[in-house]
Chains A and B, each alone.
Chain A
Amino acid sequence: DAGVTQSPTHLIKTRGQQVTLRCSPKSGHDTVSWYQQALGQGPQFIFQYYEEEERQRGNFPDRFSGHQFPNYSSELNVNALLLGDSALYLCASSLVVTGGHEQYFGPGTRLTVT
């Protein structure tokens, strides 16, 4: 049973650049949520995608955008990178019919902005 996978594992970008992170959900899951985890902090919710639409959004600026594909995989895009965007980005998947709250996380993508 394939779990949640994310790519790349690590990424180094320069301020002002743009980045795309990718996530494949656990087999059978249809909902993808993205979280940002700064060093020493708990994960903070960015947004959630279901049926290829953004369903919920946390307190993040419009520089953060996403997409979900028909196969339920998802991308997170961040434009005009800031130093403060350096963090571990976690993708979590769930199944809406079960209530969705039992989320399974991927290993994360560590983004460093210099």
Chain B
Amino acid sequence: GDSVTQMEGPVTLSEEAFLTINCTYTATGYPSLFWYVQYPGEGLQLLLKATKADDKGSNKGFEATYRKETTSFHLEKGSVQVSDSAVYFCAPGRGNTPLVFGKGTRLSVIA
């Protein structure tokens, strides 16, 4: 089945720093790829998605590009804010099959 590997956290950055959270996936075929964010004490929110190779998903200043050659979907943001502190999950998804999550990457942004 599909699987995902994310960089180990926690990641601690100063406000306005550049963010990269690495995500690589293992899957047969070409699933859609998602980034979800979980703020403290809350459920998961869909942050962005890409449905095919070379697609770039973007939302709230975050971006990720579906790289088929490297089976990656790294999350980036040019300038993080304290409010971006959360746990970030990368997940492949296809059709109506369930999402497969890794352990997530905890991001802490300090002022």
B-binding residues in A (CB < 8 A): 4, 6, 31, 33, 35, 40-45, 48, 50, 55-56, 58, 88, 90, 92, 94, 96, 99-108
B72-111 CB mask vs A (1 if < 8 Å, else 0) is 0000000000000000010001111111111110000000
A-binding residues in B (CB < 8 A): 31-32, 34, 36, 42-46, 49, 89, 93-104
**Are B44's CB and A90's CB within 8 A?**
yes
**Are B45's CB and A94's CB within 8 A?**
no
Q: How far is the CB of A39 from chain B (nearest CB, A)?
A: 11
Q: Which residue of B lies closest to A47 (CB)?
A: B98
| A76 CA to B32 CA, complexed, in Å | 27
Contact of B96 among A43, A50, A105, A108 (CB under 8 A): A50
List 28 A–B pairs whose Cβ atoms lie within 8 Å, in order of A's numbering. Answer: A4-B43, A31-B96, A33-B98, A35-B98, A42-B103, A43-B44, A45-B98, A48-B96, A50-B96, A56-B98, A90-B43, A92-B44, A96-B96, A99-B32, A99-B94, A100-B96, A101-B96, A101-B97, A101-B99, A102-B34, A102-B93, A104-B46, A105-B44, A105-B46, A106-B43, A107-B42, A107-B43, A108-B43
Q: Main SS of chain B's interface residues?
A: loop
| A33 CA to B101 CA, complexed, in Å | 14
**Are B98's CB and A102's CB within 8 A?**
no
